[in-house]
Amino acid sequence: MDIESLTAALRDAFAPLIEADEVDIEVGQELGEVEVVAETWTLHLEGLPEAPRGWIAIDDEPENAADIRVAREEAMGTEAMAALVQADSLLGGALRGALTASDDPISVDLAAALRADASQAPQG
């Protein structure tokens, strides 16, 4: 996954949220980093293109691992999740791979949710 492909996929998938000024996409070309920034969460991707890793940070991170999914879903909402599913599909699952590589519990939970949504998408 190169930074240009990643940025294009994210901008395409998040276009309605960018237009509504609910999400910003910030690119650190020289550092190989991209961030998707919303009011209650931030997706950080780095190590592009050689070794992509990604983290999701939410404002109210739970102390209990059992509460991760609910906290992430509440922070992100359905529109952002749908946009991430679309971007991950455009990138052939590369977002899932980058999130899983972080070994961060919330990020791994997001990767699992993207994987589940991808498997439920109609094949066409």
**Closest to 85 in 3D by CA, of 57, 120, 51, 47:** 120
Strand, coil or helix: 56: strand
- 51-75: pLDDT as tens digits: 999 999 999 999 999 999 999 999 9
pLDDT of residue 41: 98
* Measured distance CA(39)–CA(107) in Å, rounded: 18
pLDDT of residue 105: 95
Residue 122 confidence (pLDDT) above 70: no
Arithmetic mean of pLDDT over the chain: 93
Yes or no: say if 3 and 48 are a contact pair by the CB < 8 Å rule.
Answer: yes
Residue 124 confidence (pLDDT) above 60: no
Token look-up 């922070």 returns 75
Segment 79-106 shows an average pLDDT of 95
> What is this structure's pTM?
0.91
* Measured distance CA(15)–CA(97) in Å, rounded: 23
- 30-53: pLDDT as tens digits: 888 999 999 999 999 999 888 999
DSSP conformation class of 24: E
